[in-house]
Amino acid sequence: MGAQAARAFMGIGEVLEILRADFPDVTVSKIRFLEGEGLIEPQRSPSGYRKFTHTDVERLRYILTAQRDRYLPLRVIKDHLDTAEQDGPTAANRPRAVGGESPAPEVRLSRAGLLKAAGLDEETLAELEDYGLLTPVARWYDAEALTVARASGALARFGLHPRHLRVLKASAEREAGLVEQAVAPLLRRRAPGAVDQAEETARELSVLLQELHTALVRSGLRGILGR
């Protein structure tokens, strides 16, 4: 193999250096876990070392983005990747859609930027913070904060203000408690990959709880509307 061809491949350490700029928590065990789950298939050298291409790195970037920003469980991400493979290897390794949308870039907004992006006024934002519905991190607001701000602004048009939304905050905290209870045994394990398994389990439980919550709300509304 010539020098140019050799540089087409990277070791797992080089892959980590590339990904950690956007995903500081990514680890070797995380990448191995994703390989074990069948989401990536790096080539192997004759001595057994993993050899990653730039396409593999972009595939990893897609998977990690879908987990972090969309909270998708791995089984759903794998379904998207498997579907993309039907359109050829390029599409499979550089998927453009998650549930029909492009992966969302990282969001980092100042207070003024959040007000503008969400269409909120300062008073409403202050109320959201007072009631614990929204909290900046080091004076910056992330994608979740933007979602909360936009949804809260829309609800306010129906007369539902931050003080009315405290019940949602309490419900979300209880659901998080259920997830914590379920993954606690995994976190107590010292086996390699236990933390990654706990993370994946937490994401899958989150999706299931959201589905259950939506179904229960719809059921309640049918009772209110007499349908």
Per the model's pLDDT, the better-predicted residue between 148 and 95 turns out to be 148
**CA 173-183-202 angle, 5° bins:** 65
As a residue count, the chain comes to: 227
For 173-217, how does the pLDDT look when each residue is reduced to its tens digit (9 = 90+)? 999 899 999 989 888 887 777 888 888 888 888 888 888 888 888
26-64 pLDDT per residue, tens: 888 889 999 988 899 999 888 888 899 988 998 999 999
Domains and CATH numbers, the chain: 3-93 (1.10.1660.10), 111-160 (no CATH), 166-225 (no CATH)
What is the chain written as a DSSP string?
Answer: --HHHHTT-B-HHHHHHHHTTT-TT--HHHHHHHHHTTS---EE-TTS-EEB-HHHHHHHHHHHHHHHHH---HHHHHHHHHHHHTT-HHHHHS---BTTBPPPPP--B-HHHHHHHHT--HHHHHHHHHTTS---BTTBB-HHHHHHHHHHHHHHTTT--GGGGHHHHHHHHHHHHHHHHHHHHHHH--STTHHHHHHHHHHHHHHHHHHHHHHHHHHHHHHHHT-
Cβ atoms of 149 and 120 within 8 Å: the answer is: yes
pLDDT tens string 162-181: 999 999 989 989 998 999 99
Q: Does the structure show a pLDDT above 90 at 160?
A: yes
Other residues' Cβ atoms within 10 Å of the Cβ of residue 151: 14
